A and B are shown apart, each in its own frame.
Chain A
Amino acid sequence: MLIYWLELKKLLSAVAVWGFIAACLLFNLVIIISNSGDEYGDFVGAVAQVTGYILDQSFAEKLSRLTVGGKPAEYLAQLKHETEGVTDVFEGYETRYIGERYIQAMGATGYWADLMREKYAALQKVVEEKAKKDESLTLYFAGATHERHQLLFDTLLGWLFTEGALAAVLLALLAVGYENIYGTESLVYSTKKGRQVMGPKLAASLTAGLGTYILLAVLAFIAYFSVNKYGGIWGSSVSSFFNYRVDLITGNRPFITWYSFSVLTYFLAMVGAGAILVLCFALLAFGIGMVVRNSYLAFLVFLLVNGVNIVVPLQMPQTLPIGLAIKYLSVLSPVGLWLKHGIWFTDGDVDVIWPYFETLGLGLSLVVLTVFCVSALIYFRKRDLT
C-alpha cells in the first residue's frame, strides 16, 4: 500500500498533468459559455418545478394557471403551444424499418442481417413497453430539448470522455515509463519489489486517471449547471416526445433507449460508462507502455493502434463477410465506443449490430484489456532490461 501511495504521489507531482488539467478546464469553460444562454430552456426547467414534468391533464391545468410578465410571457405561450396536443410517439411505432434500412445500407446478408433484424425485433418490445408507460409524454426541455440534450450528452460529455481518456493515457504512460524517463530502471527493478512495482504503478495510474476524469467532470458540471438550469425536469424521460435523433439513413427518429432512463439516471449512466471507457484507454496505454518502455514511443503506438481501429473498418469492403465482421466488431473497441458516445444506451446506428452495444463493448474491452495488461506484466517480468 505504501508503494501505491508513493507511485500516486509521483504521478500527481508531475507539473505537466496539472497543466493539462488546467487547459482542459479552460477549454470546457469556453464550450459551456459559448453554447449556453438558452433562456427558454431555463424557463421550462423552472416551470417544471411547478407543473411537474409529466404531460398529463394536471400539467396542462397547472400550466394554464401560471402567469408571468415580460419576456417569460412569450416563453410561457411558446411552452403552451408546444405541449398542446402532444401524442405518444411510441404508440404504434414500428422499429423494423430502421433495421431494414441499415441492412440495406451495409449490404448485410445472412447471419449479420439476421442479427440486425433480431435487434430491432427486441427493440420493438422496448418501444411497446415505453408506449405502455407513456414515456414519451414527459416534458424534458420541450422545444429546447434536442439542443440541450446534444450540448450535455454529446458535446460536453464527449469532450470530458476525450479529456479524461487522454489524461488517463498520459498518466498510464508516465507511470509505466517513469523509471525509463528518469533513468532509474536499474535502481528500481533490482530492489526487493523489483518489477512487481508495476502492479502498484498500474493501480496508481488508474486511480490518477479516474480521479482526473472525475475532477474534470465535477468542475465542468458545476460550471454547466450554474449557467443551464435544469429545475424540475430531472425525472423526465430522455425518450421524451421532444427528444429525437438525427440519422442520415433513417431520418429523424425518436430517442429510444433500451432501459427507461430519466434525465438524471441517463446522466449518471453516461458519466459512469465514461469512467469505464477512461479505464479501458488507460489499460491499453499501460499495456503498450510495458511492451514499448519508452513513453513517447508508446504514445505513438497508442495513437497508431487507435488510428488503425478507426481506418481499417472504413476501408474494409462490405461485400466480404470478414469486412462486415470487422466493421461491427470495431464498434465494440474503446475508440469505436468513444466515437459513438452520443448514442450510448440506444439501439445505435448502421454499424451497431448488438443491443446494449456500449455495455457489451465496455465489458468486453475491460476484460480483453485486463488480460492484455496482465500478459504485458508477465512479459515485462521475464524480459531483459538492457
Chain B
Amino acid sequence: MLVVNHVTKKYGNFTALEDITLEFTKGVYGLLAPNGGGKTTLIKMLATLLFPTKGEILWEGMEINKLGEKYREVIGYLPQNFGYYKNQSPRQFLHYLAALKGIDPTVANRKVPELLELVSLGDVMDKKMRGFSGGMIQRVGIAQALLNDPKILILDEPTAGLDPKERVRFRNLISEISKDRIVIFSTHIVSDLETVANHVIMLKDHKLFYNDTPANICQTLSGKVYETWDIESVTQPYFPLTQRQEEGRILVRFVCETPCPQAQPVTPNLEDVFLYIYRDEAV
C-alpha cells in the first residue's frame, strides 16, 4: 500500500500542497486539479523528484526516500512533457532506461520490442525519434513506464498528444494492466477518467477536496444539474456548464442549487462536477 501522510509542499512562501493524506491500493486513481493545482507536485513527490516539506510518503510502511532504489524499482513514471534523445531510436532509448531501471540486458532484449509492439511502435522501433509525432513520443513514454513491470504506475497527463483512437487504446491498456497494480493517472481530460478510474482524487486550493469513486463524486451534484433549450426562462441563480447547438437552438446544461422547474433535471457526470468545483479557477 502507498500512503501519503499529511504531506505539505512549500516553495518559499508559496504552498503548492497542504496537508494531503491519501491511501493507494490496487486500482486506477484519477487525479484531477486545474493547472497549478498541485497535481504535478504530488506526482513528482511520488516519483521521488521532490521532497515533502512536511509529512511523509510510505510504501509498505517505509518512507519512500529512505527506501531509495528499492522504492524506485517498483515505480513506472510517465512525466508530463518529457524529453527524449532525438538521435536515438525508441529501442536504444528504452535499452538505456532499462539499464537505469536495473533490468538485465537479456531481459531488456526481449521486453523492449514486446512493449514497443504493445504501443504500436513495432515498425519504427529502430528509427530515430527525431521525426516522431507527439503521439508517437507519448507512446514511447508509456512503453518506458511499463519496462520494469511496475507495482505503481504514475502517469502525468498520459493522453496528451494522443489522437482519439490512441486514447481509447490507451484507456483499454490501463484497464488491462491495473488489475494487480496501483495506477495514478493525472489528466485534464475528464472523460479519460470516467471510463477507467476506480477512484478520483480532486485537489482544490492546494488541498484535498474529494477522494472517492466517480459515482459518489457525481452524487454530490445529484438533483442540481439541469438542461434547457430556453435558458432565459431560468430565473434562479445558476452556473452554466456546457452548451450545445442543435437545429438552430442552444441546449444549455447548468447547475442550480435550488429546484428549477423550468428545466429538465439530468444525471450529473464527472465533467459537470469538475467544471462546477473549479468554476473560479483557470482550468
Contact = CB atoms under 8 A, between A and B. Distances in A.
A186 B44 contact: yes
A13 B92 CA distance: 13
A385 B50 contact: yes
A284 to B, nearest CB: 26
A384 B148 contact: no
Contacts of A2: 99, 105
Contacts of B49: 185-186, 189-190, 384-385
Interface in B37-88: 44, 47-51, 68-69, 72-73, 75, 77, 79, 81-87
Interface stretch (A117-125, A193-201, A202-210): A193-201
Given A6-B99, A384-B50, A384-B51, A190 B69 contact: no
Q: Which of A182, A194, A196 has the most CB of B within 10 A?
A: A194
Interface string A106-132: 000000000000000000000000000
Q: Which of B44, B81, B85, B99 has the most CB of A within 10 A?
A: B99
A192 B104 CA distance: 13
A193 B49 CA distance: 13
Contacts of A189: 48-49
A192 B81 contact: no
A13 B88 CA distance: 10
Contacts of B82: 183-184, 186-187
B72 A191 contact: yes
A6 B77 CA distance: 21
Contacts of A384: 49-51
A190 B100 CA distance: 9
Contact of A192 (B73, B86, B87): B73
Q: Which of A2, A185, A187, A193 has the most CB of B within 10 A?
A: A187
Contacts of A187: 77, 79, 82-83, 97, 141, 144
Given A182-B85, A184-B84, A193 B51 contact: no
Contacts of B102: 191-193
B154 to A, nearest CB: 8
Contacts of B209: none
B100 A193 contact: yes
A304 B11 CA distance: 28
A381 to B, nearest CB: 9
A386 interface: yes
Contacts, number: 80
Contact residue range for chain A? 20 to 34
B26 interface: no
A184 B77 contact: no
A65 interface: no
Nearest to B80: A186
Contacts of A193: 69, 99-102
Nearest to A180: B83
Contacts of B86: 182
B192 to A, nearest CB: 21
A192 B148 contact: yes
Contacts of A183: 81-84
B96 interface: yes
A190 B48 contact: yes
A3 interface: yes
Contacts of B68: 194
Contacts of A191: 72, 97, 100-102
B231 to A, nearest CB: 44
Q: Which of A179, A190, A382, A384 has the most CB of B within 10 A?
A: A190
B35 to A, nearest CB: 16
B47 A190 contact: yes
A188 interface: yes
Contacts of B75: 190
B44 A192 contact: no
Given A191-B97, A191-B100, A184 B48 contact: no
B51 A184 contact: no
A148 B84 CA distance: 51
Contacts of B96: 6
B85 A184 contact: yes
Q: Which 9 A-B pairs have the closest CB atoms?
A: A183-B83, A186-B79, A191-B100, A192-B73, A190-B47, A192-B102, A182-B83, A193-B100, A190-B77
9 contacts: A188-B97, A189-B49, A190-B72, A192-B72, A193-B99, A194-B100, A382-B51, A385-B44, A386-B50
Given A186-B82, A385-B44, 4 more contacts: A6-B99, A187-B82, A189-B49, A191-B97
